[in-house]
Structures are given as structure tokens and as C-alpha cells.
């Protein structure tokens, strides 16, 4: 007995309608700046409060990364859970700790952590003030591939929980299967031995040709083994700006300190300027020209930049080659926009304060 699978309309019409609906949803929910006051904190069963800057659980769906805020009251600890995606943490306020597969890491304002995929983790606050951190994860991307899995184990001791998914070791052989086993085993060994924590006290910001001083927070260049998300921080001098550029893929910028505005447009001129302040997130949409300005005449502005450079953007570069996917003006225009960062009297790098 044969069966037939069909639809009421043609394949052409089904795909056309689906693509149009996808773009309509994306555009209806897109935000250029998500203000701190727009993020409502909700109590959860994990004994924490969570608010959504960007993500489907906060009516701001995305397709690559999400951004959440988490708060922990003094004397509390969350339940332990794990998920199939990586998450990056940036601490905003308070002092606390996070256990990753049973390893405790103490943190304070300005610290960064990597929560690897499938690692059991929980966080707590032994201090006397509320602790707050942000997480940026690749959950939406894994969800599009049907691979987003979340497992909550309550208060079960980590020693009683299953380890991360096993993998087969490499084996001898010249055939493609043996080569794949070796390659993937090496990758998993590297990912499971990566760095997990960057202390604010370790940071060293360096001047760049784009008029700012910057440092990595979480990146393979400093020993992290994440699945694509990278975090860096840049500082803009008083009444100065970063030079203009554009690239595919979203870039998210969390304002750690200061206030300013960002130019975004499809062309280097004629776009709009969007104001921002401490606690906001700036969303730079795909392939828009953008430039960030510090509007304070006396204080610097510090911004954490997050994007999926090591996965999404690298893949797009290969697929679009030989097109140039990172563009900035010629050097003489770039230098005129940015100015000389060596002429700025940079302040001491003190830990962030909240609020």
C-alpha cells in the first residue's frame, strides 16, 4: 500500500509564506536598544530572579544568542542544572560563586565566566547584598537545529549526577571513520579543558587604531574553548567615539559604565543615532554601519561586546568568500573618526559599580 504526502498548496507557496512570516516576526520584535528599565525581573523556582533582555522567553525572540539578567539574594543558592548550549557570564554586582561540575569559582563585579555545554552548574550568594550577573548563550541557535536540551536536577549533589555525554577515543586507521573519531575526540578533549574564569583584576586594556582601548573577556585567544560566543570590552574616552565599521551577524553591546549614543545605518551617512546608558544593551543588526560615541565630556564609557564570531561569522565568511564581510573606512578616515587614543588620560581600571 502506497502513501502520499502532500499539501493544499505548492512547495513554492509554502516556502514563500514561511519565509515572509519569519521576516515579519523578526522585524516586529527587533530592538535597537533594550533599556535596563524594560527588563522585568521574575522570581523562579531556582531561587533566583531572571529578566530577559533578548530571547523568546521575554517576547523578544532571537535566532542566534539570548541575553538574560540573573539576581541572587544574600544567603541563597540556585538549583543545579545543565544544558546543551554554552553560556557566557558577566558579573554586574555583588560577590558570589558558581560551581561548574563541582568546581567552585568565586566572582565579583566585572568578572567573566564560561559555562560549557552539558556542565552541571549552580550559583550562590554568600555576601550581604544582592548579586547580579548577565548571561549570553547560543540557546536560540541550537533550538533552530532541534538540539536545545535543558535538565534541572534540583538540589541533587553533583557527585550523584551523570557526567557530560561520553565520547569515543580516537583509534588507529587511515579510513575516514577513524579519522573522524580522532578529530572529534581531540575537539572534545580541548573543549573540556578550556578556561572558565577571567577576573577583573587580571584585565589589561590596550589602545587600538579605532580610538578605544580594549581587552578580551572570553575568547579562544586567552584559552577559552566555547562554541562560538566571544566577549570583549572596550572603553571610549570622554566626548570621543569609536571608528565606524560593519559586519554580518548581530553584535550585542552591554553598557557597563557611562552613557552615549550609537549611529546605525545602511550607509555611512543618513542613519539614526540611538542613545544608551549604563545597564542597557545595544543591538547592532546585520551588516549595518555603526559607530559608538561617548557623550560624557568628563568620564569614559565601558562597553562589553558579545557576538558569535567563532561560529556564525566565520561560517558566513567562508560561504560568502570572496566578499569582504568586515568593512571599515580607509585608514585616514578611520583615524580621523577615532582620534589618537594615546592622547586620552585613561582612568584606573576600577571594578564596576551598581546601580
Q: In degrees rounded to 5, what are phi and psi of residue 43?
A: -65, 145
How does pLDDT run across 72-83, given as a tens digit for each residue?
A: 999 999 999 999
How far lies 203's CA from each of 112, 184, 213, 330, 351, in Å?
11, 33, 12, 30, 10
Q: State residue 119's pLDDT score.
A: 97
Q: For every residue of the chain, which 3-state class applies, written as one string?
A: CCCCCCCCCCHHHHHHHHHHHHHHHHHHHCCCEECHHHCCCEECCCCCEEEEEEEHHHCECCCCCEEEEEEECCCCECCCEEECCCEEEEEEECCEEEEECCEEEEECCCCEEEECCCCCEEEECCCCCCEEEEEEECHHHHHHCCCCCEEECCCCCHHHCCCCCCCCCCCCCCCHHHHHHHHHHHHHHHHCCCCCEECHHHCCCEECCCCEEEEEEECHHHCCCCCCCEEEEEEECCCCECCCEECCCCEEEEEEECEEEEEEECCCCCCEEEEEECCCEEEECCCCEEEEEECCCCCCEEEEEEECHHHHHHHHHHHHCCCCCCECCCHHHHHHHHCCHHHCCCCCCCCCCCC
Quote the cell numbers at residue 256.
557597563
- Whole-angstrom distance, CA of residue 168 vs CA of residue 20: 43
Number of neighbouring beta carbons within 10 Å of residue 139: 25
What digits encode the pLDDT tens for the residues 13-49?
A: 878 887 787 777 767 767 789 999 999 999 999 999 9
Q: Is the pLDDT of residue 325 over 80?
A: no
Report which of residues 125 and 63 the model is more confident about: 125
* CB contact set of 275 (below 8 Å; sequence gap of 6+): 33, 259, 260, 261, 295
Strand partners, 17: none
What are the grid coordinates assigned to 34, written together?
533594550
Beta-sheet strand order (sheet of 272-277): 272-277, 259-265, 289-294
Task: Please calculate the CA angle 161-166-170 and round it to the nearest 5 degrees.
Answer: 155
pLDDT tens string 161-217:
999 999 999 889 999 999 999 999 999 999 999 999 999 999 999 999 999 999 999
Global confidence as pTM:
0.91
Question: What's CA 168's distance to the chain center, in Å?
Answer: 30
Q: For 84-98, 117-131, 247-261, which range has the lowest pLDDT when averaged over its residues? A: 247-261
Q: Give the whole-number percent of the chain exceeding pLDDT 90.
A: 71
Confidence (pLDDT) at 337: 87
- Residue 7: its pLDDT value, please? 60
For the chain, list the domains and their CATH numbers. Answer: 30-191 (2.60.120.10), 200-343 (2.60.120.10)
Joined together, the cell numbers standing for residue 132 give 547580579
Amino acid at each position: 500500500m502506497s502513501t502520499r504526502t502532500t499539501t493544499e498548496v505548492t512547495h513554492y507557496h509554502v516556502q514563500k509564506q514561511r519565509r515572509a512570516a519569519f521576516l515579519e516576526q523578526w522585524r516586529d520584535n527587533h530592538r535597537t536598544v533594550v533599556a535596563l528599565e524594560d527588563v522585568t525581573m521574575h522570581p523562579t523556582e531556582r531561587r533566583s530572579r531572571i529578566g530577559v533582555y533578548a530571547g523568546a522567553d521575554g517576547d523578544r525572540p532571537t535566532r542566534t544568542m539570548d541575553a538574560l539578567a540573573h539576581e541572587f539574594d544574600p544567603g541563597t543558592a540556585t538549583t543545579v542544572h545543565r544544558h546543551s548550549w554554552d553560556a557566557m557570564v558577566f558579573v554586574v554586582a555583588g560577590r558570589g560563586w558558581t560551581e561548574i561540575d563541582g568546581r567552585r569559582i568565586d566572582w565579583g563585579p566585572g568578572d567573566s565566566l564560561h559555562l560549557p555545554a552539558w556542565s552541571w552548574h549552580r550559583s550562590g550568594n554568600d555576601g550581604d547584598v544582592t548579586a547580579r550577573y548577565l548571561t549570553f548563550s547560543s540557546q536560540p541557535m541550537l533550538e533552530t537545529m532541534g538540539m536545545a536540551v535543558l535538565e534541572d536536577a534540583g538540589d541533587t549533589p553533583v557527585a550523584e549526577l551523570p557526567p557530560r555525554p561520553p565520547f569515543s577515543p580516537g583509534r588507529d586507521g587511515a579510513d575516514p571513520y577513524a579519522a573522524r573519531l580522532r578529530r572529534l575526540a581531540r575537539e572534545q578533549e580541548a573543549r573540556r579543558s578550556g578556561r572558565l574564569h577571567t577576573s577583573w583584576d587580571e584585565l589589561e586594556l590596550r589602545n587600538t587604531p579605532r580610538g578605544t582601548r580594549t581587552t578580551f573577556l572570553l575568547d579562544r585567544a586567552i584559552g577559552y574553548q566555547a562554541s562560538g560566543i566571544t566577549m570583549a570590552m572596550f572603553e571610549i574616552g570622554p566626548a570621543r567615539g569609536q571608528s565606524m565599521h560593519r559586519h554580518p551577524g548581530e553584535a550585542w553591546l552591554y553598557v557597563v559604565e557611562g552613557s552615549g549614543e550609537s549611529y546605525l545605518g545602511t550607509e555611512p551617512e543618513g542613519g539614526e543615532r540611538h542613545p544608551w546608558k549604563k545597564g542597557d544593551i545595544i543591538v547592532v543588526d546585520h551588516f549595518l554601519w555603526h559607530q559608538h560615541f561617548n557623550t560624557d565630556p568628563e568620564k569614559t564609557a565601558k562597553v562589553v561586546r558579545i557576538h558569535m564570531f567563532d561560529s556564525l561569522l566565520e561560517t558566513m565568511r567562508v560561504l560568502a568568500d570572496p566578499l569582504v564581510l568586515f568593512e571599515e573606512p580607509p585608514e585616514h578616515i578611520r583615524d580621523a573618526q577615532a582620534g589618537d587614543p594615546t592622547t586620552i588620560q585613561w582612568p584606573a581600571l576600577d571594578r564596576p559599580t551598581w546601580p
